[in-house]
Structure 1
Amino acid sequence: MTCNLRRRTFLTSAAALAAFGARAQGAYPNRPVRMVIPFAAGGATDVLGRDLAQAMTATLGQSFVVENMGGGAGVPALNTVARSPADGYTTFFCASGNITAQPLLAKSRVDILGQLTPVGMVATAPHVLVVSAKLPVHTVGELVAYAKAHPGTLNFGSAGVGGLAHLGTELFARAAGISITHVPYKGAAQAMTDLVSGQVQGMFGTMPSFTGMIEKGAIRALGITAPSGATPLKNLPLIARTVPGFQYSSWNGIFVPVGTPAPLIEQLYIAMAKGSTDKGLAKRFDEQGVDIALANSAQLAAAVHKEIAVWDKVIRDAKIALN
């Protein structure tokens, strides 16, 4: 609904101003919506975000303009969104680690839900535990036994300190009662190269990062960190069957600056939920090893609080700090 520009009277009363605000809000969105993604173009989160942006465009009738802002463990992108106007036109499509892990590693810990408000979760994905084909193990049980028989020799790589793959490694080591040395890299590509060569023996991560090398036989998938119905993961066992109590998953969702009006958050959530029913999007998510999993703003906020407590303990126990 738009204002009647031919009206000759000014809206001066409080009631008229409130009515104007309601009409303006009802027109949302009347221009393109910005979607900030805290990763470089082409990565798993970027691919999912662009698919979702396209589906939400069809629902809302306005385009979503994707802006990749990689680097800095996602903190610069997060800060950019948090400082943007709370008008529904800047959104943050992120992975769970950007919200529940990286802020815990800042010199001054960030109250993430004091800066960003959840719109909702759209998908979850377990991490896959992979090992170099040069390591003589084929199951999680064999890996645990190998680590206990060869203390101090097991090295796990990741794309950097404090990422979910790093925290998952620390959580696994403690749950399994084994020693693992974390080897951080500046990116996933070099970590993968060293995994294939056997310089590091294992790694956690999402399935798209590993598919090619698994198919070539250069690395071996042993299990997944949480239940999944995604096609590429159906034949992989739950790690928790061997290491009781060990479970975590990555998720993707949308956040907006604190102060964004609740009706706009609801419109974005409805568009996200409707977009998730698109058959093409669902197929592409499934191919990436991702399950559609919807949670609204309140549900996601509760999940964030719970997950922060888990990773906070891991970070403190392992004495993890960014250099």
Structure 2
Amino acid sequence: MDIPTHFSRRRVLGAAAFLPFAAKAQDNYPSKPIRMIIPFAAGGATDVLGRDLGQAMAPALGQSFVVENMGGGAGVPALNNVSRAAPDGYTVLFCASGNITAQPLLSKNRIDILSQVTPVGMIASAAHVLVVSDKAPFKSLPELIAYAKAHPGEVNFGSAGVGGLAHLGTELLARSAGIKVTHIPYKGASAANNDLVAGQIHAIFGTMPSFMAMIEKGALHAVGITAASNSRPLKGLPLISKTVPGFSYSSWNAIFAPARTPAGAIDKLYIAMRTAAQNPGLKHRFDEQGVDVALAGPDELQKMVLKERAVWEKVIRDARIEAN
């Protein structure tokens, strides 16, 4: 950032004099509860993971997390709230990867999200599973691809909304496999899953827990996972990349803080996250949600964001996806 020419020597000296006090404040961090904003409604998968993580991190920090759910608006209200908060370590965002790597690309006033928030660390990763309706005329991924090539545009993929990872994953699969499919957006995963069971749509991407009951009943069939390699909770399902070389993506969950949050606060938050990752109870709860405990520090997480953003930007551009 360029220092304005009217920035006086007195103000510079004043700022310098303040630095020891700022450092001392960070030595005492955290001295009060931390506000955790989650860009989804209460009770959803990300909300459950965030609350579990907050409880597991609290002992190491000596402070609790106060969760605020800010669902809707494709996560933009939550992102705006965090980016405008004081960069003091007392407001953080717990989000899914799409909130950072994809949804900002759909905004009419696009911004570089990493200029607004700074990575703290990743805690969880989950492959998506591709499921098809029992009423669909195919029961495996090779059969789906063959059918789609013989019937261009007739295979309907549902999703919880335009621009979500399930939608982007659909478009990535179509381009990687050389097929043409039709995307049907819904206002939420529940409605999409109901139509999938009824056979109104043929297939959908999502996390395993949301499909498990219907898979056990035989109403849905899991035909592959999106991971680059087998992940523990979904081990045994075929990798989509075995049929469609090069295809893979995963959803992850991480904490971000407002840009310019002091390094001391970021370090303490990540150390607490790293400690929480060793908690057997947290590992068990994450396993119940179909996700792996997966750690990545601030620098590694930033590289992941930049890499995945490039992938989704191309998908969005090629598929001409626009936000509603």
Q: Determine the structure 2 residue equivalent to 1:69.
A: 70
1:53 aligns to what SS in structure 2?
helix
2:223 aligns to what SS in structure 1?
strand
Query: In the aligned structure 2, how far is the partner of 1:140 from the partner of 1:56?
Result: 40
Tell me, yes or no, if the aligned pair for 1:69 and 1:76 is still in contact at 8 Å: yes
Q: Determine the structure 2 residue equivalent to 1:6.
A: none
Q: Determine the structure 2 residue equivalent to 1:229.
A: 231
Q: Determine the structure 2 residue equivalent to 1:123.
A: 124
Q: What's the % identity of the aligned pairs?
A: 68
Question: How do 1:128-147 residues align onto structure 2 when only pairs under 5 Å count?
Answer: 128-147=129-148
**Paired residue type of 2:125:** T
Tell me, yes or no, if the aligned pair for 1:122 and 1:294 is still in contact at 8 Å: yes
Query: In the aligned structure 1, how far is the partner of 2:27 from the partner of 2:105?
Result: 37
Q: Determine the structure 2 residue equivalent to 1:58.
A: 59
Per the normalisation by structure 1, the TM-score is 0.93
1:18–1:318 distance in 2 versus 1, CA, 3 Å: closer
Question: How do 1:284-299 residues align onto structure 2 when only pairs under 5 Å count?
Answer: 284-299=285-300
Q: Determine the structure 2 residue equivalent to 1:302.
A: 303
Question: How do 1:1-323 residues align onto structure 2 when only pairs under 5 Å count?
Answer: 17-226=18-227, 227-231=229-233, 233-323=234-324
Query: In the aligned structure 2, how far is the partner of 1:114 from the partner of 1:19?
Result: 26
Query: In the aligned structure 1, how far is the partner of 2:14 from the partner of 2:81?
Result: 36
**Paired residue type of 1:159:** A
**Paired residue type of 1:308:** R
Q: Determine the structure 2 residue equivalent to 1:9.
A: none
RMSD between superposed Cα atoms in Å = 1.5
1:160–1:22 distance in 2 versus 1, CA, 3 Å: same
Q: Structure 1 residue 14: deviation in Å?
A: 8.4
1:251 aligns to what SS in structure 2?
strand
Specify every segment of 5 or more residues in structure 1 that has no aligned partner in the other structure, as ranges.
1-11
Query: In the aligned structure 2, how far is the partner of 1:295 from the partner of 1:247?
Result: 19
Tell me, yes or no, if the aligned pair for 1:156 and 1:200 is still in contact at 8 Å: yes
* Corresponding pairs, count: 311
1:82–1:17 distance in 2 versus 1, CA, 3 Å: closer
Q: Structure 1 residue 20: deviation in Å?
A: 3.1
Tell me, yes or no, if the aligned pair for 2:230 and 2:239 is still in contact at 8 Å: no
Query: In the aligned structure 1, how far is the partner of 2:18 from the partner of 2:31?
Result: 19
1:65 aligns to what SS in structure 2?
strand
Q: For 1:262-301, what per-residue CA distance to the aligned partner results, in whole angstroms no more than 9, with x for missing partners?
A: 1110110111111111001001112222111111111111
**Paired residue type of 1:251:** W
**Paired residue type of 1:29:** P
